[in-house]
Amino acid sequence: MPSQIVAVGSKVGLHARPASLLVKAASTAGVAVSIGRPGEKAVNAASLLSVLALGVKNGDSIEVTVADGDNSDSVLASIVEIIATDHDA
Amino acid sequence: MFKGIGVSPGVVVGPIRKVLAEKASGPVPADIDQVLKALESVATDLDKSAESIELEVAKEVLGAQAMMARDPSVIEVLEGAITEGVAFDVRPIVEEAFGGFKEQLLALGGYFAERVSDIDEIQSRLINKLAGIESAGLTLTEPTVVVAEDLTPADTAALNLKFALALLCSRGGATSHTAIVARGLGIPAIVGCEGVMQLVDGAVVLVDGRNGDVIVDPLQDEIATRTEKELKIKARADSITGPGRLSDGTSIQLLGNAGTIDDVRAAVKVGAEGIGLFRTELLFLDSHIEPTVGEQVKLYSEVFQLMAGKKVVIRTLDAGSDKPVPYINAIHEENPALGVRGWRLTRTSNDVINRQLEALAEAAAGKDVKLWVMAPMVNTPDEARDFAGRVRKLGMLMPGVMIETPAAALHADHVLAEVEFGSFGTNDLTQYVMASDRMDSRLSDMTTAWHPAVLRAISIASDSAAKISKPVGVCGEAAANSLLAAVLVGLGVSSLSMAPSALAEVRGFLASIDLDTCERAAQAALSARSASEAESRAREILEG
């Protein structure tokens, strides 16, 4: 399962629009995507409530893991990009 | 008859319709298919509301709520819990499914904790759908008095209020969302009106939004009397224009409260002599990060342009308490109303306030506007001096402070000596003098500026101000109540700032009385035992 650690780019953390964008992308990815703090329990990235409950702030490191599938690597790249981007800039 | 707090005046008669009706009583049985279908239907309703509303912030909130209603983790828990056919009562199961998330978000505090009310609303919509109780999103097809426990922003977005005759809520206080929406629509509204949820759909009621009275099956006579009185007040308001003055010619400056450019336009329209309170929070609340100096300059410039040649009182950021700004009020406070808010933010976010003052100075440079700048929640002479120093250093000549804490009112001789003017924020001053949360409808009898203790605080401060010739005004809800406005004038206030929608009426009323009458009414109110006695004594003298 491909995974990557990424720093959260959004000033508000994973909340509001950045969280919605992430959840939308994860729920339409076609493969299971999970996120969590490195070394801690990961949650379903398609669940807005789970993502919010992580309480992720700007600059926090987040590990993204994508289940094995045909397009796992491209899904990982696009999810990582969403998390790394500052959507309010 | 039901009695509540009238928050938007007007008299109407019509059939009622309940929204987000009373919580389903008794168990709500359902199987997993029904629950999932209902959840999806809640999500679809929210999507539709998100599409129909124009306000970008509300759109995002509603969109996020729809995603929460479709949350796979919640659905997973529900599927695990409702396995064998019909569950006897799904309410505890639903609470369980969302409850864990609510606890986690609450523990995170701030911005995250605010989402809990969004989840509560999804739950209540879901349960109501399963119980067959019609939920918000109902389309009114005929003129209707909308009755609810309380109306959230999502409710009012979902409701088509074109046919709403009046809004009636069993909960909420004078500053609740319902009050703001109703005044914006110009329809009568009453909040904190206990018992109205017992009314059945279709019952005909008279709503008197000025007095807070709801009369079931009103008699023709009653309708005629109340309508006539209301019309008389409106006619008096329409007949007088120009600057505010009493019948003896004493000038009382009438200004508008505003938070947006639209509000400023509304103030211009009703002939306000300027803006007595421009709230700067919205720009900060609307964005997830601090607005740049450039963005702020743009907004303030627009205000100055619309009010060219007139007085504009800008209040510096009043974040905190009931208006938390996530990137500023990041720390969870046990008691936010008494915490780091208003000017106290200089203790934690000094740069934000300095940048705002810079933006104000930049926007005002070279403009034809009488800019007054005031700080909220100033408590001590030292704070007032600090503020005034910063404002003057930037070339702005009129620093002032809100008088909204008991300390500032009791110590006004020293506090006002540091600045050029004072402005009573009666909403907070009332809350702090009475030590009663103004959002709590259970305490609504104590959260009124009519209380003699509040009036005495105002009286002490305005007497101090008069001794050192510093003008004091009022920029709270109290100024929008004609009788109270007259009492405040009698206490020594020289300007009144209010929601533009209330201005014409206050102007009309003030034109019918002289200063001596105002002073007598003020003295009568000051010596009363209770808020209601103060009001009735003042009424007797003023309407005499």
| CATH code for the domain of A32 | 3.30.1340.10
Q: What residues does B180 pair with on adjacent strands?
A: none
Please name the residue of chain A whose CA is at the shortest distance from the CA of residue B76: A47
Average pLDDT over residues B258-263: 89
Average pLDDT over residues B500-517: 93
Which value, in Å, is the radius of gyration of the alpha carbons in chain A?
Answer: 11
Which one of B76, B112, B114, B119 makes the best mutation probe of the A interface by having the most chain A beta carbons within 10 Å? B112
pLDDT at B262 over 90: no
Per-residue tokens: B29: 């049985």
Return the CATH class of domain B2-22+136-219. alpha beta
| Chain A nearest C-alpha distance from B150 (Å) | 25
pLDDT at B52 over 80: no
Question: A17 contacts in B (CB within 8 Å)?
Answer: 60, 288
Question: B328 contacts in A (CB within 8 Å)?
Answer: none
Question: A12 contacts in B (CB within 8 Å)?
Answer: 111, 288-289, 326-327
| Chain B nearest C-alpha distance from A88 (Å) | 7
Nearest to B71 among A15, A48, A88 (CB): A48
Which of B269, B265, B288 minimizes the C-alpha distance to B278? B265
Q: How confident is the model at residue B2 (pLDDT cuts 50, 70, 90)?
A: very high
| pLDDT, tens only, B354-392 | 999 999 999 999 899 999 999 999 999 999 999 999 999
Q: How many Å apart are CA B341 and CA B338, to the nearest integer?
A: 8
Nearest to B111 among A10, A15, A46 (CB): A15
Average pLDDT along chain B: 89
What DSSP designation does B215 have? E
A13 in a structural domain: yes
| pLDDT, tens only, B80-112 | 999 888 888 999 999 999 999 999 988 887 778
Residue A43 has a pLDDT of: 94
Please name the residue of chain B whose CA is at the shortest distance from the CA of residue A23: B67
pLDDT at B479 over 70: yes
The answer to whether A49 contacts B101, with C-beta atoms less than 8 Å apart, is yes
| Protein fold of B246-543 | TIM Barrel (3.20.20)
Q: What residues does B476 pair with on adjacent strands?
A: none
Report the catalytic residues of B. Answer: 177, 475
Question: A15 contacts in B (CB within 8 Å)?
Answer: 111-112, 288, 326
Q: How many Å apart are CA B515 and CA B52, to the nearest integer?
A: 50
What ranges do the domains of chain B cover? 2-22+136-219, 32-130, 246-543
Q: What residues does B13 pair with on adjacent strands?
A: B206
| Chain A nearest C-alpha distance from B391 (Å) | 30
Please name the residue of chain B whose CA is at the shortest distance from the CA of residue A47: B71
Alpha helices in B422-530 (DSSP H): 426-433, 452-467, 482-490, 500-510, 515-526
The answer to whether A12 contacts B73, with C-beta atoms less than 8 Å apart, is no
pLDDT at A63 over 70: yes
Q: Predicted ipTM?
A: 0.93
Three-state DSSP class for B397?
A: coil
Which one of B61, B74, B108, B325 makes the best mutation probe of the A interface by having the most chain A beta carbons within 10 Å? B108
Residue A89 has a pLDDT of: 57
Residue B139 main-chain phi, psi, to 5 deg: -95, 125
- Identify the sign of the CA torsion B196, B201, B205, B208: positive
Question: A14 contacts in B (CB within 8 Å)?
Answer: none
The total number of structural domains that make up chain A: 1
Q: Compute the count of residue pairs across chains A and B with CB atoms less than 8 Å apart.
A: 64
| Chain A nearest C-alpha distance from B23 (Å) | 24
The answer to whether A49 contacts B108, with C-beta atoms less than 8 Å apart, is no
Residue B400 has a pLDDT of: 98
At CB < 8 Å, which residues of chain B contact A?
60, 63-64, 67-68, 71-74, 98, 101, 104-105, 108, 111-112, 115, 119, 287-289, 326-327
Stronger pLDDT, B166 or B443, i.e. the higher one: B166
Which of B496, B313, B275, B300 minimizes the C-alpha distance to B398? B313
Q: How many Å apart are CA B482 and CA B536, to the nearest integer?
A: 13
Residue A76's domain comprises 3-84
Q: How confident is the model at residue B444 (pLDDT cuts 50, 70, 90)?
A: confident
Question: A24 contacts in B (CB within 8 Å)?
Answer: 67
A89 in a structural domain: no
| Chain A nearest C-alpha distance from B46 (Å) | 15
Q: In what order do the strands lie in the sheet with A3-7?
A: A3-7, A61-66, A33-36, A43-44
| pLDDT, tens only, B305-322 | 999 999 999 999 998 776
